[in-house]
Amino acid sequence: MPVAVRPLLNSKDKLVSQLIPEEVVQEVLLRTDIVDVLGDYVQLKRTGANAKGLCPFHQEKTPSFTVSPAKGLFYCFGCHASGNVFRFLMQHEHMTFPEAVRFLAARYGVRIPEASAQQRQQESLSPLYALHQAAATFFHECLLRDPVAQPARLVCRQRHITHEMAGRFGLGYAPAAWDALCQAMYKQGFSQELLVQSGLAVVREAQRGAYDRFRHRLMFPIHDRLGRPIAFGGRALESSEAMHVPKYLNSPETPIFHKGRLLYGLALARAALRQREQALIVEGYTDVIACHRQGVTHAVGTLGTALTEHHVGLLKGIVKEVVLVFDGDAAGGAATERSIGLFLDVGMRVRVVTLPEGEDPDSFLRRHTGEEFLRYVDEAVSFVDYLLTRAARFADLRHPAGRADCVDRLSPLLRKIENQVERWGYVALVAERLGVPPEVLQRQMYPHQAPRAHTPSQAPAHDARRTREAPVRSRRPPSPTPVSPEYTLLQMLCHHVHLLEQVQHQVNPEDFHDADLRAIYTVLAGRALAGGPTIFPRMLEEAANPRQTQLLTQMAMGATLTNPTEVSAALHDCITKIRQRQPKAQRQRIIEQLRTVGDGTAEQQQLLQEYNRLSKEQPMSFS
Distance of alpha carbon 381 from alpha carbon 351, whole angstroms: 5
pLDDT band at 174 (very low <50, low <70, confident <90, very high): very high
Q: φ and ψ at 378, to 5 degrees?
A: -60, -30
Mean pLDDT on 323-339: 71
Domain at 485-617: CATH architecture: Orthogonal Bundle (1.10)
Element (H, E) at 423: helix 420-434
Domain at 128-255: CATH architecture: Alpha-Beta Complex (3.90)
Under a CB-based contact definition with an 8 Å cutoff, are residues 130 and 261 in contact? Answer: no
Residue 172 pLDDT greater than 80, yes or no: yes
- Which comes out higher in pLDDT, residue 372 or 467? 372
Beta strands in 79-216 (DSSP E): 82-83, 172-174, 201-203, 210-212
Q: Coil, strand, or helix at residue 151?
A: helix
Under a CB-based contact definition with an 8 Å cutoff, are residues 24 and 106 in contact? Answer: no
Residue 560 pLDDT greater than 60, yes or no: yes
Residue 337 pLDDT greater than 80, yes or no: no
pLDDT band at 477 (very low <50, low <70, confident <90, very high): low
List alpha helices for 435-499, DSSP H.
438-445, 461-468, 485-495
Under a CB-based contact definition with an 8 Å cutoff, are residues 279 and 270 in contact? Answer: no
Q: Which of 192-196, 276-280, 515-519, 546-550 has the lowest mean pLDDT?
A: 546-550
Residue 516 pLDDT greater than 50, yes or no: yes
The count of other CB atoms within 10 Å of the CB of residue 460 is 18
Q: How far is CA 269 from CA 151, 232, 292, 490, in A?
A: 29, 19, 9, 43
Predicted local confidence at residue 500, as pLDDT: 85
pLDDT band at 479 (very low <50, low <70, confident <90, very high): low
Distance of alpha carbon 257 from alpha carbon 89, whole angstroms: 17
Predicted local confidence at residue 379, as pLDDT: 93
Q: 274-291 burial, b for 16+ CB within 10 Å, e for fewer?
A: bebebbbbbbbbbbbbbb
Q: Which of 133-147, 264-278, 304-318, 326-340 has the lowest mean pLDDT?
A: 326-340
- Which comes out higher in pLDDT, residue 573 or 469? 573
The count of other CB atoms within 10 Å of the CB of residue 46 is 11
Distance of alpha carbon 331 from alpha carbon 343, whole angstroms: 19
Predicted local confidence at residue 217, as pLDDT: 95
Residue 121 pLDDT greater than 50, yes or no: yes
Residue 565 pLDDT greater than 60, yes or no: yes
Mean pLDDT on 307-322: 89
DSSP assignment of 219-241 equals EEEEE-TTS-EEEEEEEE-HHHH
Predicted local confidence at residue 383, as pLDDT: 93
- Which comes out higher in pLDDT, residue 481 or 429? 429
How many percent of the chain have pLDDT more than 90? 37
The count of other CB atoms within 10 Å of the CB of residue 273 is 22
Specify the DSSP class assigned to residue 251. P
Element (H, E) at 350: strand 349-352
Predicted local confidence at residue 511, as pLDDT: 83
Write the CB contacts of 247 (distance below 8 Å, at least 6 apart in sequence). 235, 236, 241
End-to-end Cα, the chain, rounded Å = 31
Distance of alpha carbon 58 from alpha carbon 38, whole angstroms: 15
Q: Which of 184-198, 359-373, 379-393 has the lowest mean pLDDT?
A: 379-393
**Cα-atom radius of gyration of the chain, to the nearest Å?**
31
To the nearest 5 percent, what fractions of the chain are helix, strand and coil? 55, 10, 35
Write the CB contacts of 76 (distance below 8 Å, at least 6 apart in sequence). 55, 57, 58, 64, 65, 66, 82
* Of 217, 305, 212, nearest in space to 264 by CA: 305
Q: Which of 309-313, 425-429, 535-539 has the lowest mean pLDDT?
A: 535-539
pLDDT band at 201 (very low <50, low <70, confident <90, very high): very high
pLDDT in tens, 208-237: 899 999 999 999 999 998 889 999 999 999
DSSP assignment of 302-335 equals --SS---HHHHHHHHTT-SEEEE---SSHHHHHH
Predicted local confidence at residue 318, as pLDDT: 87
Question: In the CATH scheme, what is the code of domain 261-388?
Answer: 3.40.1360.10
- Please state, rounded to an integer, the average pLDDT across all residues of the chain: 83
Task: Provide the residue ranges of all domains of the chain, joining segments of one domain with +.
Answer: 11-123, 128-255, 261-388, 395-474, 485-617
DSSP β-ladder status, 299-301 and 73-76 = unpaired
Mean pLDDT on 198-209: 92
Q: Which of 217-221, 339-343, 544-548 has the lowest mean pLDDT?
A: 544-548
pLDDT in tens, 245-300: 888 999 999 989 998 889 999 999 998 998 999 999 998 899 999 999 999 999 99
Question: Which CATH superfamily does the domain covering 11-123 fall into?
Answer: Zinc finger, CHC2-typedomain (3.90.580.10)
Residue 390 pLDDT greater than 80, yes or no: yes
- Which comes out higher in pLDDT, residue 27 or 239? 27
- Which comes out higher in pLDDT, residue 249 or 533? 249
